[in-house]
Amino acid sequence: MYDETAKIFAVADGKEKVSGIGYPAPTTGLSLMGDRVLTYQLGLFFKKIA
């Protein structure tokens, strides 16, 4: 899963971003891993509708 995540995430200014879209990861009060998983799912969603 980490390899797949690396394809989607780009680190900029210390924030995880969905590469090609540029939306910052949601700040949800979850752990960083929770944010990563949530943003990963958002990335898959945006890839499907793109």
| Percent of the chain's residues with pLDDT above 90 | 0
The band of 46, judged by pLDDT with boundaries at 50, 70 and 90, is confident
CB 15 within 8 A of CB 50: no
Mean pLDDT of 16-40: 53
The band of 30, judged by pLDDT with boundaries at 50, 70 and 90, is very low
Closest CA to 14 of 31, 38, 32: 32
Question: Where are the chain's structural domains?
Answer: 2-49
- What pLDDT was estimated at residue 4? 53
- What pLDDT was estimated at residue 40? 74
